[in-house]
Structure 1
Amino acid sequence: MSGRLNDVTTHLGTTHELGLVIAAMRGIAVARTREAHQYLQGIRTYADTIGTAIGEALTLLDVAERPTASSAGTQRHLRIVLCAEQGFAGSFSERILNMALESEPDAEDLLFVVGERGLTLTAEQAMTPAWSAAMAIHPDAMPALAGSIANALYAALDDAIPTRVTLVHGLPGGTEIQPIVSRLLLPFDYSRFPIASQARSPYVTLPPPQLITSLAEEYIYAELHEALMLSFAAENEARMQSMVAAQGNIEQRRDTLLAEFRRLRQEEITEEIIELSAIRF
């Protein structure tokens, strides 16, 4: 009896320690989610500024010379998939990768994977990404990661092979399951930027086509940066919810162990009383 009671006591201690770890992980996930949201406004303001500049730069070209975007005739699809870097985030990465691969990739298609969990999933499916990187685990590292993705993207583009580029990532939604979104990066859609209506053209030091191309690349960088921050927030939101579920399971297990402890302790006391009674009589 005492052996079984000792086992239950040990399990109770382990359960308590595990509960503390889960609570700490939940607190870290909450803090990281809030921190990501604090960065988003600055990223979006920067993107809006670049968008305004694109609208102003387009006025430097005649209507017939202005670039247009059409995905018709693209021969290759490049998917950039933002997954989780760390575990305990439920099915977060699986859902993102499943959306990215809803349509069967062609032989010419390329896959970029960000996040260790995404790399593990692609390896399980015998897939080899054309490029991969670890997901940043702190918002301060996102600008450098966005730059690395952009550099790899432009290195993979080939003028001879028209390519459609989509970005697939999670969104923080404050719900039980985070939404997944697929965004088109290329061909670049210039029509979303209203043409500036101003009497005087902006003063520029670059040829207008080169200026517009550079601004478009800068805007894509801003889109990548925003997507990384949104994915980071969504990943930690998913982890927070997983920790809430785990905490509930731990509490149920603790209640079961406490009931077992009380029962065994009562039986032990009863046996001691019976033994004492036998000795007396």
Structure 2
Amino acid sequence: MSNRLSEVQARISTVHELESVVSAMRGIAAARSREARSRLDGIRACAGVIGAAIGDALMLDERNSAPSRSPSGSTNADGDGHGTHVVIVLCAEQGFVGTFNEHVIEAAARLRHPQRNDYFVIGDRGVVVAQEHGLTVGWSAPMVAHVDEVPALADRITGALYERLDGGRATRVTLLHAVPQIATAIEIVQNALLPFDFERFAVPKRQLAPLVTLPPARLLARLAEEYVFTQLCEAIMLSFAAENEARMRAMIAARTNVHDTLDQLIGDSRRLRQEEITAEIVELSAGSLAASTGSVKQKRPPK
């Protein structure tokens, strides 16, 4: 009995330690999600400045319309199904995120396109899930662990992406990522990065075009590449915030399970302690009764 009670008490101590770990992980995830959200305004402001510059550069186009060239300077495909469709999928690098990676990969697997899909999967755990779903992972990289790593990752993705574009191995690029949500559901958004849509940028109404030192086509290609970089930075930051919110929800569920386990163990401990006390009382009572009976037998007079 005492062995079982000591085992239960040891488990209670272990579960209390686990509760501390779960609470710490929840706090870290909340802080990282909040920090990621705070960086979004700066990224969007940068994208706005680049977008305004693209609008100014479009004034230099002789046709006063969007150029028919891709940001890399090569002519876009006509969209008849030739070439490769690159799908950038942002997943999680670390665990304890529930079904976060599964939702993102399933959304990528449902993406249908006449071109052959080549997947850029970000996040080692996402790569494993993608392979389980039979997706062709052409390129992968670890997901960021801190918000300060976002620009470096966006730069790596941009480099790998434009290497394929310049080599004629890709004609379309789509970005898939999760966005932070208050609700428990995970929302996945899809953005078309390339071919670059110049028509979404307003050309300013003024008489004089800006003075530039680069050919207009090259200038627009450079600006478009910078704009794609900011889009990747924003998507990575949103995905990182969504990942940590998924981790927060997982830790809340874990804490609930920990409390339920603690309640059960404390109940078992009380029951075992009560049984142990009862057994000791019964044993002492039996010993006293036996001693009293023996004493009475010794005092009985002879016949």
TM-score (structure 1 length as normaliser): 0.95
Question: Counterparts of 1:1-281 in structure 2 under 5 Å?
Answer: 1-63=1-63, 66-68=66-68, 72-75=79-82, 76-103=84-111, 108-157=116-165, 160=168, 163-281=171-289
Separation in structure 2 between the aligned mates of residue 53 and residue 232 of structure 1, nearest angstrom: 29
SS of residue paired to 2:137:
coil
Letter aligned with residue 260 of structure 2? Q
Of stretches 237-246 and 113-122 in structure 1, the one that deviates more from structure 2 is 113-122
Contact 1:68 1:191 in 2 (8 A): no
Q: Gaps spanning 5+ residues in structure 1: where?
A: none
Shift of residue 280, structure 1, vs aligned partner: 1.3
Separation in structure 1 between the aligned mates of residue 66 and residue 113 of structure 2, nearest angstrom: 32
Of stretches 105-114 and 176-185 in structure 1, the one that deviates more from structure 2 is 105-114
Separation in structure 2 between the aligned mates of residue 65 and residue 89 of structure 1, nearest angstrom: 45
Shift of residue 101, structure 1, vs aligned partner: 1.2
Contact 1:73 1:162 in 2 (8 A): no
SS of residue paired to 1:109:
strand
Shift of residue 191, structure 1, vs aligned partner: 1.2
Letter aligned with residue 99 of structure 2? S
Letter aligned with residue 114 of structure 1? I
Distance 1:162 1:107, change over 3 A: closer
Contact 2:58 2:203 in 1 (8 A): yes
Task: State the Cα deviation string for residues 5-41 of structure 1 (Å, max 9, x = none).
Answer: 1111111111111101000100000000011011111
Shift of residue 135, structure 1, vs aligned partner: 0.5
Contact 1:166 1:184 in 2 (8 A): yes
SS of residue paired to 2:181:
coil
Separation in structure 2 between the aligned mates of residue 121 and residue 181 of structure 1, nearest angstrom: 19
Contact 1:83 1:93 in 2 (8 A): yes
Separation in structure 1 between the aligned mates of residue 195 and residue 282 of structure 2, nearest angstrom: 85
Letter aligned with residue 181 of structure 2? G
Task: State the Cα deviation string for residues 153-176 of structure 1 (Å, max 9, x = none).
Answer: 011125756622100000001211
Contact 2:104 2:188 in 1 (8 A): yes
SS of residue paired to 1:130:
strand
TM-score (structure 2 length as normaliser): 0.88
Contact 2:85 2:116 in 1 (8 A): yes
Separation in structure 2 between the aligned mates of residue 153 and residue 257 of structure 1, nearest angstrom: 54
Separation in structure 2 between the aligned mates of residue 66 and residue 267 of structure 1, nearest angstrom: 83
Distance 1:159 1:131, change over 3 A: closer
Task: State the Cα deviation string for residues 183-226 of structure 1 (Å, max 9, x = none).
Answer: 10011111111111122211111111111111000000000010
Distance 1:173 1:98, change over 3 A: same
Of stretches 120-129 and 35-44 in structure 1, the one that deviates more from structure 2 is 120-129
Contact 1:32 1:236 in 2 (8 A): yes
Contact 2:85 2:115 in 1 (8 A): no
Letter aligned with residue 24 of structure 1? A
Larger radius of gyration: 2
Shift of residue 125, structure 1, vs aligned partner: 3.8
Separation in structure 2 between the aligned mates of residue 254 and residue 216 of structure 1, nearest angstrom: 56
Shift of residue 55, structure 1, vs aligned partner: 0.7
Letter aligned with residue 33 of structure 2? T
Letter aligned with residue 288 of structure 2? R
Separation in structure 2 between the aligned mates of residue 184 and residue 136 of structure 1, nearest angstrom: 22
Shift of residue 72, structure 1, vs aligned partner: 3.2
Letter aligned with residue 73 of structure 1? D
Contact 1:83 1:117 in 2 (8 A): yes
Contact 1:51 1:193 in 2 (8 A): yes
RMSD over aligned CA atoms reads 1.9
